[in-house]
Structure 1
């Protein structure tokens, strides 16, 4: 799978949760197998670098993965699903003692330097929280959307809400909410006991105006199946939980993509005049902030927005508008960059996508650390062109 193929035909879905212990990895493993059983080509990135669990749930033995002739990692495969995980790169009891930059490096390697082949769906099993890994994914890869897993417990729902808001802030579409551990069905009498209350996941989805993908009931077989490396959708295919997983998997692949936006990811070198983004994936939900066209000429950058407007911004103006820590005080937002130090003939040399919500830019003075969100770009003053 090449970087271009990732943008063109792959649904990359993040499975996230605000807190640990909600069964997110179990949900990911079973949805992946349900999709594979339905005929889709599926991959899973175990993005929980510090606590990888997907290989164990799918019965993948430990051991260093092989390398392809072009030096890409060959993923393991089980139950029709391709998997890459930190657990495959270390011993069973060896902790991943890594600082943030190394975690980011591994995560990008898991997506870009793995011989995935042609995939329909790539699920990313995220660790709980809203930290480095979540931001790296949102900034570096063209996520089709995110799914948030929660239990009906009030504490879990409150933290799930934060996870939803975080994804919204980086313009990752929310594909829906899954309520896991939604009631326990007694295997003897069939009585349903709502251990963590009921209806919380559906309520939070309604409050935030996002889809509710379904409930997954507690099943005593889940623990045994996970420990044995046999997903519930295979080992207990007729159970209510397995049926829920299949319905959720079907809902995820039936979600229609809005293609009114530039294709991401891309990296356009203006010096070599290569890599200009083509129409493709959606950028944001707001038409006024959805970038559908991008061009550059001697006068500056030309941005086309989904509401029909076009905007021209001079290269030097973009450089002066940089909000990075080198150019603006992080506390006061006061400008640190001296305009007199920016050459009048300064030029853009490279533009690249930052997730689905921003552009990165490099300039002829060597500066390349600014991130320009679509929202910020759409409100910048410049020479407005006629609507076309």
Structure 2
């Protein structure tokens, strides 16, 4: 009996059995291909068709790229070097790179100025884009626009100093009067800023601060991709606060402010941007005093900022509407007034929800800066369509120039898109 009892006791393992590897088709690249490209018959057919199309495109494109010529001085020399072979004439990029980036009139010996302004831009926007950096860096962010203006346009140092004083006066006005009425403080601050700038321009004597001069560069000499970057950064930076003000004004209880914002937003959104650019080029100067000569760059910035701020206002209004009513009631229960509730509770949540829409408007705005070529501003596309293709040396080169332009815009827009996705993950916009 004892032996039978011992034989009937089940075996108990004394150690964990090692894991067996999964089947070959359930791991590694094979699993990924089965799950993503060949999961069923339809997807398999589409995958094979796509691979065939990619083969057709790459088989004709890669030889054209790899056989490219970089060292000639004209299209005819490129064709002589290629001698009937298929190849790109990238020499136009090496010969005209400075015109593509800076325009054809910006002084060659002053290229260091926009380059330095670009490097300082990266430093200035870093504390705005990334929250972990020291907040003390925001002081340089405030100073940067005036410093960049002086670096790119040159001239006396007194002009950006007066502009900075006007900005400081506007900020003080908004800090004092914005507590009672956000709209009054915002629009009043704009009036104060313009008043200080005009008064300061009248009081600055000619020849002031001659020892702090950089060689002046008129706006008509700006061009190339530098002009696209300047318009994009300036207009996006200005349209965001203006769009917030318009969105809040559209929800205001004051009928006059509400209807002014409604009419402005609906009118601007109903007009094509190219029409507004023609207005900036031809008609906008009539709204300024007769003696004043308003720069075309400033007029274009005003119109593009108005256009993009109307779209951003609607994006932010959607974010405000997405917030539950309990958030507003929570602000009232804490005894917060309207500016405090907006600054501390409502706007932070609404802006988080609105991040994809704001980035979409920003990317579209940056690409739309190429429309300034229709009003004789030689941006990147304007340089390609105008001086470069009009020259006898490079008349007929299209794919190389337009491909370089597409690559530059793709790098910037893709960077903006990737940052927005990182910001959404960081702020967890899907959790309120």
The normalised TM-score by structure 2 is 0.26
The structure that has the greater radius of gyration is 2
The normalised TM-score by structure 1 is 0.28
Task: Report the structure, 1 or 2, having the larger helix content.
Answer: 2
